[in-house]
Amino acid sequence: MTGRTGFPLITAEALAALRGRIGVPVRRPEPYVETATRDAVRHWTAGIGDRNPFWLDAGVAPPTILFAMDCIVSGYVGGLPGIHAMYGGTDFRWQRPIRIGDTIVGDSVLLDLVERPSQFARRAIQQIYRTTFRNQPGDIVCDADSWCFRTERDTARERGKYAAVEPPRYTEREIDAIAAAYETEEVRGRTPRYWNAALH
């Protein structure tokens, strides 16, 4: 399974071995946060730049705190050693809020492996996990499907799809405009937001 510079390739055998894990419970890596204490919620919202006072005022945690409460939902993958993994996204299906003081535990299974077309790598495998989150009484808080894309490092590098891409450069005026946008950000608190699907 070794590539020309030592990085593995995605082989039929390795993929079949990983497919054998579908539906099997995954060992739970140690999370960053287990209990949604006021301090944990305060630090999480400050860390992601969410200055909305609603969370602590209402005694609930923002839904995104699950990324700190479970490593699988935030991109951890197993199998295919040496094959690059890129976090792709997570779909959450909520049943109840996370309240201050809740201890949330996620149980995960490998849900599916889907081969996707790739312009920059020979093969791209979408590796999907399903995680069920329960609070301390055992009530389901949320089901989440998270996925990463697995690609071959050597193949992607050799194809050089992004070799000619120049990094962005900002003028002083553009940097000042970004800073001004932060300064004028409105903290909405409990103010409702409305979205009209017909306009989008």
* pTM listed for this prediction: 0.77
Instruction: With beta carbons less than 8 A apart as the criterion, state whether 128 and 147 touch.
Output: yes
- Number of residues in the chain: 200
Phi, psi of 43 (to 5 degrees): -70, -40
Domain ranges of the chain: 12-184
Give the chain's residues under pLDDT 70: 1-5, 120-121, 154-162, 189, 197, 199-200
| Residue 150, beta-bridge partner list | 85, 125
Kind and range of the H or E run holding 69: helix 66-69
CA distance 84 to 154: 10
- Only one residue has tokens 């039929």, namely 12
Q: Looking at the domain covering 12-184, what would its CATH class be? A: alpha beta
Separation of alpha carbons 42 and 48, rounded Å: 10
How far apart CA 39 and CA 91 sit, in angstroms, is 26
Across the strands, what pairs with 110? 22, 129
Q: Identify any residues that bridge with 87 across adjacent strands, giving them in sequence order.
A: 148
Can you count the helices (H) and strands (E) in the chain? 6, 4
> Nearest 10 degrees: CA dihedral of 59, 61, 63, 66?
-150
Q: Count of CB atoms within 10 A of residue 161's CB?
A: 12
* Cβ-Cβ contacts under 8 Å for 44 (sequence gap 6 or more): 33, 61, 62, 64, 65, 68
